[in-house]
C-alpha cells in the first residue's frame, strides 16, 4: 500500500541526533515515521554545506516521499518506523544494479 504525505506536522531534525531528519507519512490507517540521514540527502541531492538540511529536504520532498513509499512496500515496519538509506534512492532498473 503506498504511503501518502501526513499533513499534521512537518519534517524536523531529531534533537537526540542532528544527523537525522524525521517526517511522517500515512498508509491510510497508521502514521509511519520515516527517518533519513542528512548525509544521504546531501549525497543524493547535493546542496553542499551551505544549504540547511530542512531546506534540502523541502526542495526534494516529493522525491524523498516517493522513495519512502517504495521502501515501505518492500520493507517490514513492525514499529511504524522506516529508515531510509542510499539504496532507497537508487532509481536504476534492477538489471543495472547487478
In the chain, what percentage of residues exceed pLDDT 90?
71
Per-residue pLDDT at 97 exceeds 50: no
Q: What is the pLDDT of residue 40?
A: 95
Question: CA neighbours within 13 Å on the CB side: how many for 78?
Answer: 0
What is the rounded average pLDDT of the residues 14-36? 95
pLDDT at 8: 87
Domains defined along the chain, listed by start: 4-86 (3.30.160.140)
Residue 85: other Cβ atoms inside 10 A: 13
pLDDT at 83: 96
Distances in whole angstroms, Cα of residue 40 to Cα of each of 3, 10, 56, 79? 21, 19, 11, 22
- Which of 57-61, 76-80, 92-96 ranks highest by mean pLDDT? 57-61
The confidence score (pLDDT) of residue 98 equals 47
Q: Report the predicted TM-score, pTM, of the whole model to 2 decimal places.
A: 0.87
CA distance 75 to 73: 6
Amino acid at each position: 500500500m503506498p504511503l501518502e504525505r501526513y499533513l499534521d506536522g512537518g519534517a524536523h531534525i531529531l534533537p537526540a541526533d542532528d544527523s537525522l531528519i524525521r517526517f511522517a507519512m500515512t498508509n491510510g490507517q497508521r502514521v509511519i515515521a520515516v527517518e533519513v540521514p542528512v548525509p544521504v540527502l546531501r549525497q543524493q541531492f547535493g546542496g553542499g554545506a551551505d544549504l540547511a538540511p530542512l531546506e534540502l529536504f523541502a526542495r526534494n520532498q516529493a522525491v524523498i516521499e516517493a522513495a519512502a513509499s517504495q521502501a515501505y512496500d518492500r520493507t517490514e515496519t513492525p514499529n511504524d518506523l522506516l529508515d531510509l538509506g542510499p539504496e532507497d534512492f537508487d532509481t536504476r532498473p534492477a538489471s543495472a544494479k547487478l
